[in-house]
């Protein structure tokens, strides 16, 4: 939430400030060349900051729309076999101690079981 607030304020604050300045400038009876340059610069900055804000919101929207996991019951032995096929090359490459590897697998399996029960409401 802090990141979202920070990103929003980083874009909204200068947009608000520049918009207020532009409003003050256009209410003048005459606009000097310097004021016109300030207006052009302000509009460019507002466009850039609003583009940044739009990109941030689009990225956040994509993240928030991340699909929910599909819950299904699966045989634990199949899950373990599949996990071993995936992870064993890494364990061998990293030269992980077999005792530590076993302990890691047991921790992973027990966490998976607890998480699955929680997801399935068991």
Q: What is the DSSP string of the chain?
A: -HHHHHHHHHHHHHHHHHHHHHHHHHTSSS--HHHHHHHHHHHHHHHHHHHHHHHHHHHHHHHHTPPPPPP----HHHHHHHHHHHHHHHHHHTT--HHHHHHHHHHHHHHHHHHHHHHHT-
pLDDT average, residue stretch 1-26: 88
pLDDT tens-digit readout, 41-87 = 999 999 999 998 999 888 888 887 877 777 777 787 888 788 878 87
CB atoms within 10 A of CB 64: 7
**Cα–Cα dist 94/112, whole Å:** 23
pLDDT average, residue stretch 94-118: 79
Residue 122 DSSP class: -
Model confidence band, residue 39 (pLDDT cutoffs 50, 70, 90): very high
Q: Is residue 11 over pLDDT 70?
A: yes
pTM of this structure = 0.51
């Amino acid at each position: 939430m802090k990141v979202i607030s920070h990103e929003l304020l980083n874009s909204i604050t200068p947009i608000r400030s520049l918009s207020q300045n532009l409003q003050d400038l256009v209410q003048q009876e005459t606009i000097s060349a310097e004021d016109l340059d300030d207006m052009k610069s302000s509009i460019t900055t507002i466009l850039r900051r609003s583009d940044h804000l739009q990109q941030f919101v689009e990225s956040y929207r994509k993240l928030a729309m991340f699909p929910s996991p599909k819950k299904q019951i699966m045989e634990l032995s199949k899950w373990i076999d599949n996990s071993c096929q995936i992870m064993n090359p890494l364990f061998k490459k990293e030269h992980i101690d077999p005792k530590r590897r076993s302990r890691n697998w047991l921790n992973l399996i027990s966490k998976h079981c607890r998480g699955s029960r929680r997801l399935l409401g068991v």
